[in-house]
Amino acid sequence: MIVYLVFLGLLACLRIWELRRSKANWRIHRDKADMLAERLFPWMVALHGSFFVLLPLELFWRRPQFGGPLSYAALSIILIAFILRFWTLHTMGRSWNVRVVGGQDYPIVSNGPYRYIRHPNYLVVVLELLFIPLIFKLYFSAAILTLGNLVVLSIRIRNEERILRQNPEWVRTMGGKPRFLPWGP
């Protein structure tokens, strides 16, 4: 249980680093980018912040144990998701942002994981919010976070793609690709 809490602490540090990187990236591109004034963003922040509250609460309340096929499968999926997250962040470079940013002159990234799907970072978020809780069989947290994420991402992706479609290069290079899985719609 202590190892899991340390893992969550390291994950929180990673998220703080990502927010700082996002802010720095925005400063670089703000002159050639359109940022959608999202009313959804505070809800997204609340959902992701609740991750670091719900998991420890359920962990202490239920005291589940690591082990068995579910824990090992969830851990394996999370390791793959982390590889995909770092590949995505590396590929996006200075274009990566936590906000919905785009427009005619915003740089479009279509290599790395973006060669195969439109939203690899959102795929990582889906996997993390579902499977990190399942490492310790935190079913309540997994269900709440996944359902909340479903609502948030369904709106977020629609808004983001509306902005991205303003750039003909994005339409040409990314518009026909599947959103999450190379073999899916």
Residue 103 in this model has a pLDDT that exceeds 90 = no
The answer to whether residues 178 and 184 touch, using CB atoms and an 8 Å cutoff, is yes
With pLDDT > 70 as the criterion, what percentage of the chain qualifies? 92
Long-range interactions of 44-48: CB distance < 8 A, separation 24+: 44/152, 44/156, 47/145, 47/148, 47/149, 47/152, 48/15
pLDDT, mean over the chain: 89
Question: How many other CB atoms are found less than 10 A from the CB of residue 28?
Answer: 12
CA 15/CA 76 separation, integer angstroms: 21
- The better pLDDT of the pair 23, 1 is held by 23
Q: What is the pLDDT of residue 32?
A: 56
Residue 168 in this model has a pLDDT that exceeds 80 = yes
The answer to whether residues 133 and 50 touch, using CB atoms and an 8 Å cutoff, is no
Give the H/E segment covering residue 124. helix 120-135
List, in sequence order, every residue forming a beta bridge with 35; answer none if it has no partner.
101
Q: What is the pLDDT of residue 34?
A: 56
| pTM beyond 0.95, yes or no | no
Residue 68 in this model has a pLDDT that exceeds 60 = yes
Residue 132 in this model has a pLDDT that exceeds 60 = yes
Q: What is the pLDDT of residue 16?
A: 93
- CATH number for the region 2-174 comes to 1.20.120.1630
